[in-house]
Structures are given as C-alpha cells and as structure tokens.
Amino acid sequence: MFKIEKSVKKRKVLIVCPHPDDGEAFVSQLGIQSIKAGWDVHQVIATCDEYGTPINEFKGERISRIRRHEMLTAQKRYGLDSNGKPLLTLHWMDYVDGYVPHNKAAVNRLQKFILKINPDVIIGPDPFIYCDGHVDHMAVGKNYFFALKQLKQEERPKLMLFFQTLIPNIFLPKLFSKEIYYIREAHRSQWSRRMLRIVEIFNFVTQISFQFKNLTIRADKLQFVEGYRRVLFNNEDHIPRGIAKIFFYIFKDTPLGCEEGRLLPHPKALGIDLIPPNDIN
C-alpha cells in the first residue's frame, strides 16, 4: 500500500492514457488522491475516440467532439483552483482512435514529452499482463514502456507504474467514491449507469486475489484497493503468473469496445489526418 500525502515540495503526476475515460476507469484513485493532496496532476491522452461508436455516420469529427467535451467536463469535476482553473491539466497526443502507432518516432515523441513534464510519479497501460487488449492500449503501453526504458536511470520518474494490470504489486485504498462516480459520470455518451457499476466490478474481479490479500476494514466497511504494477525492465517480470494466467488467457485477444469492423471506414475516407504535430502540447 502506498500513501499520497501533502508534501512541502509539490509532487507531479503524469497519467498516460489511450482514450478519454481510461484515466477515470483504471487510475481514478491515483488521480483523485494526488489532486486532493495538492499535487500537480497531468493526464496525456493519445486519441479522442474517433471510432468510439459503431455508427458509421458518427465516426470521426462528430464523436470526437462529444468525447472531448465530456473529457473537459470530467477535468472540471476533479476540482478547480481559486481562479476557477481545473486542477487536472490535460494534454492531447492527437493520434487517431484505433490507429495509434507503435514505432521509434512514437516512442521518442512520448519520451520527449515525459522529459518536458518531468513527473515524480508516472503511470501508463500495462502492455504485458493486461486486461484490455485494445490496439491503442497495446500501442500506448509499448510506447510508454520503451520511452521509460530508453531513459537514463537518473532521468526516469521516481515511481513508474502500470495500470490495467492483472498482477498489481502496489496499491491505493479506494477512497472518494462519490467524487469518482461524479467524475466518471461525465463520460455519459460511453458510460451508462450500468457501466458505471460494471467498471468497479471489472476492476475488482480482474484483481480479485490481490483484493483479498489487501482487504482491511475502515469505518466498519470493507476497504478495497486499486492496484498498479511497478515498471521494471527485466523480462521475467512481464510473464503472467498464478490466477492472472487464466485472466490473461481470456483477455489477451479481447479488445474492449473494438469489435470487428469498428475501425472502418479508414480515417482517410473520413478526412482525418493520421499524422500528429511534432510535439505533444
């Protein structure tokens, strides 16, 4: 279990997400707890859900406009400072949903951005022992891992973590449940009330053995956890073990929300540019 506390030096957190809503689905505790502790929290989002609907007429600009607006609403719901400025800072990588590249240029681009933000704590998708095999989660996870791997030891953030992992080894107690429900609810075009409940259950079930190992009682209630995995650079650390093997077998080829035909028609046919600007802002 690790603790997020107010500190003399303002700590910085960077959350690396494939889509608007992943930060709220998988990393809500790190997000809200570090904001409540007065830390400087950033979220960088790879795409804007251009293919986030099965309806062809809505793909591209129309759906991404909705999703961007919802993300901005979620951002405000994390809280505002005394000048009305959101406490969470958002950045966009401007890739296209479903078409995030994993190549040298994408790794270097993310690495440059990490160095610019220079966070103390960083978290991104686990591309090795995961519970969401969406192509963008895989590409962003690999870009994230290799961007960190290729940094010098002294350039790396002090704490480097993975989310969407089946083998967590570092935990935060689940707090601020009302606030998190309110923030998640901002993603209303993709999360129904039922989905808002399912996401909690999904996170619980996919880390079930770790939930029981870390179970405590707080104010007469069972205290559950949100689990992340430390980023290490030895290969043995990236092989599923124990119960995670079973879940991994189920999820390894299961992209959530990315069924056959979802990524068609091709971005060119929708008039979407696949090449993002040089720098992430």
We find the least distance from the C-beta atom of residue 137 to Zn ion, in angstroms, to be 6
Nearest CB to Zn ion, comparing residues 4 and 131: 131
Which DSSP category does 166 fall into? S
CB-side neighbour CA atoms (13 Å) of 234: 2
Start-to-end C-alpha separation, the chain: 33
**3-state per-residue secondary structure call for 116-164:** HHCCCEEEEECCCCECCCCHHHHHHHHHHHHHHHCCCHHHCCCEEEEEC
Nearer of residues 18 and 127 to Zn ion, judged by Cβ: 18
Q: How far is the CB of 158 from Zn ion (least distance, A)?
A: 26
- Which residues would be at the binding site for Zn ion (CB under 5 A)? 18-19, 22
- Residue number of the CB closest to Zn ion reads 19
Q: Which is nearer to Zn ion, 34 or 47 (CB)?
A: 47
* Residue 11 vs 19, nearer CB to Zn ion: 19
CB-based burial label for 36 (10 Å; 0-12, 13-18, 19+): middle
Residues 269 and 56: their CA atoms lie apart, in Å, by 11
Closest distance between Zn ion and the C-beta of residue 8, in Å? Answer: 36
Cβ 267 to Zn ion shortest distance, Å: 18
